[in-house]
Amino acid sequence: MTKAALKGLIQRQEFVLFAILVVICTVFTIITPLFLSAYNIGNLLKAVSMIVIVACGGTLLMMTANFDLSTGGNLIFSNIIFAMTCLAGVPVVLALGITILCGCAIGAINGTLVTRFAVTPFIATLGTWFVFKGIAKAITDNNEIKAGLPKSFDFLGQAQLGPVPMPVVVLVVIVVVFLFLERKTLLGKYSMAIGGNPTAAYLSGIDGNKIIFLLYTITGGLAGLAGSIAASRIGSGNPRMGDGFEFDVIIAIILGGTPLSGGRGTILGTLIGALIVAVIGSGLNMLGMLSFWQLVLKGVILLFAILLNEKLGK
Partner 1 sequence: MEEVIIDAKRLVKRFPGVVALTDISFQIRKNTVHCLVGENGAGKSTFIKILTGVYQADEGEILLNGKVHKPKNIRESRKAGITAIYQELNVVDDLTVEQNLSLGKEKHRWGIVQRISDLGKVASILKDLDPRIKLNQKVATLSVAQKQVIEIAKAISSDANIIVMDEPTAAISEEEVRRLFEIIQGLKQQRVTVIYISHRLSEIFEIGDYVTVFRDGQMINTLAVEELNQNGRSQASVELVKMMLGKVLAEHYTPSDIDYQTKMLEAQNLTNNTLKKVSFDLHKGEILGFYGLVGSGKTETARVLYGLDPFEGKVIIKGKECRLGKVRDAIKAGITMIPEERRAEGIFGVLSIRENIPVMKMGNVLKNRVISRFKERNLALSYIQKLRVAARNEEQSVSFLSGGNQQKVVISKCLNSESKIFLMDEPTRGVDVGAKEEIHNIIRELSKEGCAIIVFSSELPEIVNLCDRIILMYEGEIRKVLKNHKDIDSEEIMHIITGGQWGAS
| Residue closest to 102 by CA, chosen among 132, 134, 58 | 132
Q: Which is nearer to partner 1, 14 or 154 (CB)?
A: 14
Binding to partner 1 by residue 146, rule CB under 8 A?
A: no
Binding to partner 1 by residue 196, rule CB under 8 A?
A: yes
For residue 86, the one-letter residue type is C
Contact by Cβ (8 Å): 40, 25: no
Binding to partner 1 by residue 193, rule CB under 8 A?
A: yes
Binding to partner 1 by residue 27, rule CB under 8 A?
A: no
Binding to partner 1 by residue 311, rule CB under 8 A?
A: no
Residue 254 Cβ vs partner 1, minimum distance, rounded to whole Å: 17
Give the C-alpha distances (Å, rounded to integers) separating 294 from 34, 170, 302: 20, 27, 12
- Cα(161)–Cα(168) distance, integer angstroms: 9
Count interface residues toward partner 1 (CB under 8 A).
21
Element (H, E) at 161: strand 160-161
- Cα(72)–Cα(242) distance, integer angstroms: 6
Q: Which is nearer to partner 1, 162 or 205 (CB)?
A: 205
- Cα(55)–Cα(17) distance, integer angstroms: 16
* DSSP 3-state of 173: helix
Piece of 50-58, 140-148, 184-192, 229-237 that binds partner 1 (CB under 8 A): 184-192
Residue 264 Cβ vs partner 1, minimum distance, rounded to whole Å: 6
| Residue closest to 143 by CA, chosen among 38, 233, 239, 13 | 239
Residue 255 Cβ vs partner 1, minimum distance, rounded to whole Å: 19
Site for partner 1 in 261-300 (CB under 8 A): 263-264
Of residues 151, 203, 288, 291, which one binds partner 1 by CB under 8 A? 203
Of residues 204, 243, 304, 310, which one binds partner 1 by CB under 8 A? 204
Binding to partner 1 by residue 166, rule CB under 8 A?
A: no
Contact by Cβ (8 Å): 128, 111: no
Binding to partner 1 by residue 197, rule CB under 8 A?
A: yes
Max Cα-Cα span within the chain? 63
Give 259's DSSP letter. Answer: -
Binding to partner 1 by residue 189, rule CB under 8 A?
A: yes
Binding to partner 1 by residue 46, rule CB under 8 A?
A: no
Binding to partner 1 by residue 54, rule CB under 8 A?
A: no
Q: Which is nearer to partner 1, 25 or 306 (CB)?
A: 306
Can you name the residues that pair with 161 across neighbouring β-strands?
164
Contact by Cβ (8 Å): 217, 108: yes
Residue 212 Cβ vs partner 1, minimum distance, rounded to whole Å: 16
Contact map string, positions 226 to 265, toward partner 1, x by CB under 8 A: -------------------------------------xx-
| Residue closest to 219 by CA, chosen among 98, 132, 79, 108 | 108
Q: Which is nearer to partner 1, 198 or 235 (CB)?
A: 198
Element (H, E) at 160: strand 160-161
In the complex, the residues that contact partner 1 under the rule CB under 8 A are 180, 183-186, 189, 192-193, 196-197, 199-207, 263-264
